[in-house]
Amino acid sequence: MSSEAMTTLDSTVPRLQEVFFAAEPALTKLDEITGDGDFGVNLREGLSEVAGRLAAPDSPAPWDTLRAVFLDEVGGTSGPLFGLLFQSLDTRAARSDSYIDALQAGISDGLAAIQRVGEAEVGDRTMVDALAPAVEALHAGDVGAMVSAAVDGALSTAALRARRGRASYLGERAVGHPDPGAVGVALLLCVLAEPVSGTEASDRERARLLDAVSGSTSGND
């Protein structure tokens, strides 16, 4: 039988698809300026593949499917890194009674796995800049603070020069624009917070993030 934490985690999947499909053009534009332009498409194709598999008659477990698709099928650097985060959340939700415990342990394990593989530190202008402050804020069990910390962390990358990944070759071009992976992680955490803190608080933080992203890219059409 599925744990209550897993049932709650599973309930976020349709929302995750909705939020990322809506944000895809903004994420693509951001990665066109700061990377190679594939970030939003990679995410969208991964989530479409997940939706296809979940619609099958034998309907596999949602988070195990997210893990498998992102670890094995999604391209770019970020695909497998998201896969590691999904894997940690899936594993912890299966073992936790409470959803907040699963979030705390899963996001913290996910950060550790991403840093083990990608070797990025805070300040390198990657998704770690959104995840690390979120883990820190969630230690106190405050999901709203986790979301704000992730959004602040993602926005703080606009001032950073990339030292990891493809964006490191672009140097100054990315400065002034948030890192796409950090924005993607902050969007994910907005969605994961919804079962605890409601949609209104998450919508507000998501709008704060996406408004800043479109503000930074609006002159680059």
For ligand ADP, the binding residues (CB under 6 A) are 31, 35-36, 38-39, 42, 76-79, 81, 114, 118-120, 126-128, 164-166, 179-182
d(CA 167, CA 151): 20
Token pair, residue 84, equals 């590691």
Residue whose beta carbon is closest to Mg ion: 35
Stretch that binds Mg ion, among 38-46, 52-60, 66-74, 201-209 (CB under 5 A): 38-46
Residue 181: which of 38, 33, 76, 39 has the closest Cα? 39
d(CA 60, CA 40): 25
Token pair, residue 68, equals 């498998």
Instruction: Tell me whether residue 119 or residue 203 sits nearer to ligand ADP (CB atom).
Output: 119
**Minimum distance from CB of 183 to ligand ADP (Å)?**
8
Instruction: Tell me whether residue 5 or residue 174 sits nearer to ligand ADP (CB atom).
Output: 174
**Minimum distance from CB of 148 to ligand ADP (Å)?**
19
- Please choose which of Mg ion, ligand ADP, none residue 126 contacts, taking the beta carbon within 5 to 8 angstroms, the exact cut-off set by kind: ligand ADP
Residue whose beta carbon is closest to ligand ADP: 181
- Regarding 35 and contact with Mg ion (CB under 5 A), the answer is yes
Residue carrying the six token digits 């936790």: 96
Q: Which residues contact 121 (CB under 8 A, 6 or more apart)?
A: 115, 128
CB 189 within 8 A of CB 129: no
**Minimum distance from CB of 56 to ligand ADP (Å)?**
26
CB 9 within 8 A of CB 99: yes
